[in-house]
Structure formats: structure tokens, C-alpha cells
Structure 1
Amino acid sequence: MSLKKTRVFFLKQERQYHEHCCVPMCTSSSKFNGVLSFHGFPRDVQLRKRWLVNIRRDKFTVTAHSKVCSLHFTEEQIIPPKTAVGKRQLQKGAVPVLFQWNDYSIPSPRLSVWDRVSTPEPSAGDEQLMDCTPAADHDYSSVPEPAFLDTAVDKHMQLEEKIDALMKEIQELKLLSTFGIERFAQSDVNIRFYTRFPSYRQFMIFWELVEPSVHRMVRVSRAKAAERMNEAVTSVRPTHMRQSLQPIDELFLFLMYLSVGLKEQDLANRFNIHTSTVSRIITSWTNYLYTLLGSVSIWIDAEIVKAHLPDDFKDFPDTQVIVDCTELKCQTPSSPLLQSEMFSTYKSHCTMKGLIGIAPHGPVTFVSSLYEGSVSDKELFRRSGLADLLTEDMAVMVDKGFLITDCVKCKVYCPPFLKKSSQMPAPSVLLTQKIARLRVHVERVIQRVKENKLFDSVIPLSIAGSINEIFAVACLLSNYQNKHLAKAWVK
């Protein structure tokens, strides 16, 4: 045998004779240390898996030469040899527990995830130890370590927070895509624009007044709406449209129709409903508010009026109501007879004419029905029925066109006429100025009512059957939507 082959033979024998520990970061070998004992992996599958997990080599392929030295076992786990030359054995079920990464000390029992404290910051020595990373075949145990579980809990909490944030964002986007009162809850400017109420809070106060009886509303049926709109009852409804709205959104839709003057098709597109549904909502809420608000008496007793009489009326202390007329332009009817009756020489157009009365401190206390535009102020006052509410101890303040002295039993404050004189006397001028300065407040209230954009355009004859109710509702709503006419009048 040659010298080279002889050397290879002895090297193989030497490798087979010497044993090495397979635990990461352990360099123990029987060649340099005859005191240590080396133990093979158990045959039991579960026990062997526990060995691999503890030594952090769960992906390690176990062979007959794979050994774990006695440094990784406690003294209680090792059985001393019976003879001086005997080998040390392991107790049944023994598992290696002492390693370099736990300073060869017995680890404390593992706590539950919820009982653990935060992991302390690593020291300089620990950082150096962490740099000694084992070989790539180690996956550091298939059983999660405490630090890993803590990290998992933190990640889980972060995911929950992210989910909550995304859900909130989805709700906000859904709210923005849905046209309703809640969309503008944070914007009093938009609430004022769409509803004439000064703020969302005041709108909700009004809603609390009408909500208890909403369920008793008599709604217009689809058949009547179809007949009114001259459309078939069996019209096809797109599947993407909503079938109904919440009652508060129905009120919001009606106020938009009245305040902004939006057309039914525009409202249908905004609320994603059918045009016939918009028509039914408008008609139903017109009748409902006309009945509900009209059931509350707005006529104020003379004692209450005097108790709230502004100082500006000290020269007219018995004034009960200030009245004036207003006209709404309407579509010209095809009938020449109706045209002649509805034509107003003042507006040079076909109009509908109504009378509004307010108390001296500002609220609307009387609303008449609408009549043809050709009727005179005196005739309208006589038809309205206001004269029946006035007694001898009251007084009514009117403009020059109301020649109603012979129609009422009470006093009438009216600006004097020039008569046959070439110049009005000084007392008459002062009286005219005083009455004009106080009577202007009824014109301001009428302006508030006509700020509803529905009355800006020409009223179509298709809603002539409900225009009386709409006009009355607009006048009654002005008592809820507006503040006092003059701050000085507030007591």
C-alpha cells in the first residue's frame, strides 16, 4: 500500500472515531475533550422533533453520526456510568435545554401571550451574540418564540387599526356618493342654501317637531301620481335606482324643490330615484306640511301682540297686523277668458295673487289663498276672511291700495292721499313716513318667502292644483327658518 493511500485510510478512521456536536454555535469534539459525552438522537419521532426544535435545527437531516454533547443537558438528565470505563447515558425522555443563546441556563417557563412584558432593548454584548448567526439550514424552531408572538400580536393590532381606518374611509366615501341631509351635516352654508334653515341644528329641531307624526302621512299612490304626470303606471324602473328614501331625506328633497327650485328630473338624478317617485314625495310632503303646520294657529291674541310690541310702534299701540299683497308669475293659460282674469297690469303678466299678514314683531300670522292676478287689493282682502278676525279694539296697517275702511270694524292705519290739495300737509307727510317705515317689514317678510327659488320662475299650470298649499307652506316655514326682522326688537 502506498504512503498516500495509507494516510487517507488513517484520516477516515480518525474521522469516524471522533464525534462532533451538531448544535449551532457549539464546537465540542471528542478529539479535544475526552470528558464530554456525545448522545445520538432518540428513535421516538415526537421526542426527536423536540430535540430538533430545542437545538433550532428543525430542518436538519438526522443521521447515525448526528450527536449532541452533554453540555446541553442538565445533571439530572444524565445517568453516571456504573464503571470507570463505562459510558454516561441519558434519562428517558431527556431533551437538550442548555445552549449558548440562553447562556447555558435553564429557560423559565413560557408565559402566555397576554402575560408577557415588552422585550427589553438588546445590550452591546447581545448584539455581538446576535451577529453570530447560525448556518442557513436553521429556521430557529417551528414553535413561535415569545418575541415572535409579541410581534404577531402587534401586527394583528396594526391590521385591525388599518381595517377600522379603511372602513371609516369607505363610510365617508359612501356618504359622499349618497345625496342626503347627512352629507351636509357639517356645512351650515349648504344647509342654508338647500333648505333655507340657517344651520343643521335648527333643521334637526324642526325635524324633531314633525317626525312623531310622519308615520301617519297620507302618501300619494303611484296610480294618482301616474295620472298627474300623464305617464303609464307600468313604467320600467331601472334596477340601480333606490326604491325609497328615509323620511328625513324626503323632507330634504321637498325643501330643495321649494328653496332651490330644482326640477323633478334633477332631483331624481341627485337622489338616484325615479322621477315619478320625486313627484309623489313632493305632493305627499306638500299636503302633509300644509295639514300639520296649518293645524297650529298662527293668529296671535291681541294681549300677546301688545306684550311683544316693539318700541317703534309707540305711535300705533293697537296695531294687530300689517298686511300686503304679493304676486307669483304663472304660465299663460290657453283660454282667453282665463288669460283676462289672470293678467296683472302691475306685472304685465299672468299672475296668482295672495295676501300675507304679519304681527308688529315679525312672525307671519295670516296667509290667504291665491287668486287671479286681476283682483284688486281691496277685493282680495275681503275674500281672504281676515276682516272676521279683527275686532274694534284692534288696528290694521296697510298700504294706499287697501281702501278697506268700509270692510272692517277696526281702525285702519293707511298713508293719507293727496286729495285735491296741490301739496300734502306736513302732518300727513310725517304720518306717511311713519307708516311706510313700519309697513316695510311686511315687504321684508314677503321677500323672505319669495327667496324660495320655486317662486322666481314661472309657475307651470301642471302644479296649479297644489300651488296654494305650496305657497302656504313656504309662508309658514318662514316662521321656523328665519330670525327676528330687527335685533332691536328682541326682548
Structure 2
Amino acid sequence: MPGKHCCVKNCSSVSHDCRGNRRNHLLQFFRFPTWKKHEGEHVSDVTKRRRISWVAAIRRKDITFDRISESMRVCSLHFHSGKPSYEMLENHPDWKPSLRLGHSEVKQTDEVRFLRQVNRRTQHQEQPPSPAQHQEQPPSPGQHQEQPPSPAQHQEQPPSPAQHQEQPPSPGQHQEKPPSPAQYQEQPPSPGQHQEKPPSPAQECALCSSRRDVINSLLEENRKLKEELEEYQMNENFLSGDDNRVKYYTGLPTYLMFQTLLLSLMPYLPQGSLKKLSPFQLVLMTLMRLRLDLPIQHLGRLFRVHRTTASDAFRHTLSVMYSRLSPLVYWPSRESLLTSMPHQFVESFGKHVAAIVDCFEVFIEKPSNVLARAQTFSQYKHAYTMKYLIVITPQGVISFISEGWGGRASDKHITEQSGFLNKLLPGDIVLADRGFNIRESVGMMCAEVKVPTFTRGRAQLEAKEWRRLGP
């Protein structure tokens, strides 16, 4: 183990000998103080001055403010207490090394003088008498001017700092001349005074005041950083109170609907193997991937988990959502359709419209298997896709979703093989796009019709042409 050497001139302190054995267990070695630039203006100024003071005290040509080797150490023999003081105690004698520096250019600090300064500051910041004492013996306006305190009163009860300022001393006490305010500051309190009236815990010195200001600034900075961090964390507060954000990230219209979905899925979500993610985060991550098609690695970065953990969470949560939400997609009865049929469909097609069909495609990655690659390539999208048949009622409710097919499959083939035709009853009318050439499969005559034009203010929205499949 390499030993540590003191960098002070003419100091031969070494932590270990040539055999690696520690020489003196009481001897400690300390690094040069660092300049803390990002912890507030006051801390930056104090730490910068302290680093300059250490460099000036060591006084070596190879040690500058910007060039200090990591191996440079100062042993405990150069400090009064055997170690450096707290960095904010700038008046402390051990704020910088001052003993046995090998030169006389730096004046040796005095520890007794520092203690006297602390005692004087503590004495001047003593609290005034409590309000109860003022109420018991209120002084009259002329009391201090006409009747100065006698020596006996000084012996029975020590005067407070306010009495020293207001009442002049009696001639018997000070025969030469009355004490000035400077003399009160230079004279430390006697041991008897400290025994009779010890300072309360609320009394503070000037160092405590500066230290309190630094602590308050750090606490305020910590609070602001926590607020900024809370805003970017993917927790319960990320979506609450902002329906626009809920709709963008999840596709759900309101935050209340998201909470309803979460409560229905929470008892079935995986929690043992995915303890790093809460149920809220599991559902939010799954909906964000379905809505925005975000990569797994990016989701792991957002939720601060590994990519494998994010992938497992999405796969398990998606299976839970399928098992719990798939019963919501069901084929309605004809009576329920006739009860709530929109009047636009009644006016144009009568009361027998059962479904509106269409196919949608989802982009996927390029499959590694050659056969799967040929089955999923879509000539219309010029990419690899999966195609699904979706059926909605005239009321806008999804009533049927087929299994996934390769993008190469035609709309007619998916409609015939998905099992959708088995759900139709005689007399049902199906509205479809031009690409659905399934009149032979249905076995009925078809006629082209147009959906009526709907007017919204000045803008007119005209729907596509549909095919009427029915009797």
C-alpha cells in the first residue's frame, strides 16, 4: 500500500513505512479543500477563499490554485485541533494550516483569541429579560436618571446588558472612570456570571447566523429541485388535473376514466417480479406504448428501469388488459340496436343497419423469417404491417375485432375468414368501404348509396361512398 506524505516544507510525516506498516495511528492526512461552485454564491466564495488560503499557507511553487495533485496531503501536525475546521467557520484557527509550515511568512493563529471572540459575541446576543419580569417591576421613566443602582444591588443581582447601557455606574464601583462600550466588548464574562445566568438555547452567535442563512438557502434550493423532479417523474401526479395530457399519452378522454381503468386492473397486475414499477406506472407505460408507439428502451429511460424490465412489464400488463377488457367487445342484440338507432341511419337505411366494417393496419418490424416477411408486407403501405377487421355499431360502439392477419391479406379474405359473417342475421344491413367486394360471400344483391351530408356551421363534411349489403 503506498504511503501518504505531507507536502509541507521540512515536514517528514509519512503514514506508512517502506514495508507497508502504519507508523503513527494518531497521525491523519487531509486533502486540499475543493472549490464548490454549484452550492450557492456564499458557499462558492467561502470555499474559494479557503483553497487560496491553503495554497498561500503551504507556499510551494509546484502548488497553485488550479494545479494541485491528488497525492498532496497536509498532516494533522499543522492544525491546533489535529484536523481542519468546518469550512464555514472562517475565523477558526484551523480554517487553514498554521503550525510548523517551514516558513515565517504566514502568521501563526491563536486559538485562545478565537475563543474570546466567540464568548464576546455570545455575551452581546443574550436575550433581554422576559416580559413577565417587566410586568412585575416596571421601571419608571425617571428611575435611571434620579436613582442609580447601589453597590448592594449589584452584589445581590447581576445587571443585564440593558442596565449597563441605561444606568450609569455608581462612584464606588468605578473610581477611575466609567467603562466605555469597547471595554464591555473586550472583557469576557467571568465564570461566576456564567454560573448564575447561563445562556438559553435560543441564543446564537454571529457564526450561527451565517450558518443558518446557508442552511436556509440550501433548503430552498432543495425544495425547488424536488418540485422540478416531481414534475418529470412518471407517478400519480404526472396526469392528475390535466385531461389534455391524459388524452395525449393514453388516448383516454379524462383522468377519471384512467382511474376507473386502473382500479379494474389493479388486483390482476403483476407485482412480485416488477416491484420497481407501481400499478399506475404499469398501466401508464402500456398505454403510452400503444398510443405513441414508443420504443421499449425509451420507456425504460422515462420510468428509470432496465429495458428488460420495461419489456416484461408491457407484456404482462397487456395480457392482463386483454383478459379483463376483451369481454367489453360483444355483439349486441337487434332489439338494443333498434332502441338507440341514430335518426340519420333510420332516414337513409331504415332500422336494419347492424354494423359498419373496415380494416386497419399496424406497422411492425421486419420479420426475420422469410415466409412471415412475405405474408406481412403490404403493397398499399409499402411496409410490413398487421391487418385487423374492426366492426362498429351505428351508435359508435366497437362490436367485433378479428385476429391479426398479415398485411398481404385482402379485406375480402379477412372478412370471410374472421367469423364476422356468422354473426349476421337475415335482413341486417352492413355498411362497408369500396374495397370490400364481399357481395358474393354475403349472397345478396348490393346497391351503391351515399351517406347524407351533415352540416356543422359553415363547413360541410361529406362522408365516403358506402356499399349497402342486404336484401
- How far apart, CA to CA, are the structure 1 residues paired with 2:165 and 2:258? 72
Partner of 1:358: 392
Measured after TM superposition, the shift of residue 357 of structure 1 is 0.8
- How far apart, CA to CA, are the structure 1 residues paired with 2:379 and 2:222? 62
- How far apart, CA to CA, are the structure 1 residues paired with 2:261 and 2:301? 29
- How far apart, CA to CA, are the structure 1 residues paired with 2:465 and 2:272? 40
Partner of 2:249: 194
Partner of 2:434: 400
Measured after TM superposition, the shift of residue 321 of structure 1 is 0.6
Aligned runs of 1:80-479 on 2, under 5 Å?
A: 169=224, 171-198=226-253, 202-218=254-270, 244-313=276-345, 314-316=347-349, 317-408=351-442, 414-416=446-448, 431-432=449-450
Change beyond 3 A, Cα 1:390–1:264: same
Residue type of the partner of 2:229?
K
Partner of 1:26: 145
Change beyond 3 A, Cα 1:219–1:400: farther
Aligned residues: 290
1:41 to 152, 176, 180: 152
Give the % identical residues.
23
Measured after TM superposition, the shift of residue 59 of structure 1 is 13
The CA deviation string for residues 423-447 of structure 1, in whole angstroms up to 9 with x for no partner, is: xxxxxxxx256699666799xxxxx
Measured after TM superposition, the shift of residue 169 of structure 1 is 4.0
- How far apart, CA to CA, are the structure 1 residues paired with 2:442 and 2:156? 110
Residue type of the partner of 1:178?
Q
DSSP-derived class of the 1:245 partner:
coil
Unaligned runs of 5+ in 1: 1-22, 30-37, 68-133, 149-160, 223-242, 417-430, 443-491
Change beyond 3 A, Cα 1:210–1:192: closer
Aligned runs of 1:55-70 on 2, under 5 Å?
A: 56-57=163-164, 65-66=172-173
Measured after TM superposition, the shift of residue 254 of structure 1 is 1.6
- How far apart, CA to CA, are the structure 2 residues paired with 1:275 and 1:366? 34
Measured after TM superposition, the shift of residue 175 of structure 1 is 0.5
- How far apart, CA to CA, are the structure 2 residues paired with 1:27 and 1:288? 92
RCO higher in 1 or 2 (8 Å CA, sep ≥ 6)?
A: 1
Measured after TM superposition, the shift of residue 177 of structure 1 is 4.5
DSSP-derived class of the 1:191 partner:
helix
- How far apart, CA to CA, are the structure 1 residues paired with 2:258 and 2:271? 21
Measured after TM superposition, the shift of residue 294 of structure 1 is 0.4
Tell me if structure 2 keeps the 8 A contact 1:181–1:252.
no
Change beyond 3 A, Cα 1:301–1:138: farther
Change beyond 3 A, Cα 1:335–1:258: closer
Measured after TM superposition, the shift of residue 387 of structure 1 is 1.8
- How far apart, CA to CA, are the structure 1 residues paired with 2:465 and 2:263? 35
- How far apart, CA to CA, are the structure 1 residues paired with 2:247 and 2:234? 16
- How far apart, CA to CA, are the structure 2 residues paired with 1:215 and 1:192? 24
Tell me if structure 1 keeps the 8 A contact 2:390–2:402.
yes
Partner of 1:50: 157
Measured after TM superposition, the shift of residue 368 of structure 1 is 0.8
Tell me if structure 2 keeps the 8 A contact 1:321–1:358.
yes
Report the RMSD for the aligned CA atoms in angstroms: 4.7
Tell me if structure 1 keeps the 8 A contact 2:262–2:279.
no
Tell me if structure 1 keeps the 8 A contact 2:359–2:389.
yes
- How far apart, CA to CA, are the structure 2 residues paired with 1:357 and 1:41? 106
Change beyond 3 A, Cα 1:182–1:408: same
DSSP-derived class of the 1:289 partner:
helix
Measured after TM superposition, the shift of residue 216 of structure 1 is 2.1
DSSP-derived class of the 1:375 partner:
coil
Measured after TM superposition, the shift of residue 291 of structure 1 is 1.2
DSSP-derived class of the 1:303 partner:
helix
- How far apart, CA to CA, are the structure 2 residues paired with 1:371 and 1:279? 23
- How far apart, CA to CA, are the structure 2 residues paired with 1:351 and 1:28? 104
- How far apart, CA to CA, are the structure 2 residues paired with 1:220 and 1:28? 84
- How far apart, CA to CA, are the structure 2 residues paired with 1:253 and 1:49? 77
- How far apart, CA to CA, are the structure 2 residues paired with 1:296 and 1:383? 22
Tell me if structure 2 keeps the 8 A contact 1:390–1:408.
no
Tell me if structure 1 keeps the 8 A contact 2:288–2:294.
yes
TM-score of the pair, normalised by structure 1: 0.48
Tell me if structure 2 keeps the 8 A contact 1:57–1:137.
no
Tell me if structure 2 keeps the 8 A contact 1:327–1:351.
yes
Tell me if structure 1 keeps the 8 A contact 2:377–2:383.
yes
Higher alpha-carbon Rg: 1
Residue type of the partner of 1:280?
D
Change beyond 3 A, Cα 1:184–1:370: same
- How far apart, CA to CA, are the structure 2 residues paired with 1:345 and 1:303? 41
Residue type of the partner of 1:315?
S
Residue type of the partner of 1:311?
H
The CA deviation string for residues 442-477 of structure 1, in whole angstroms up to 9 with x for no partner, is: 9xxxxxxxxxxxxxxxxxxxxxxxxxxxxxxxxxxx
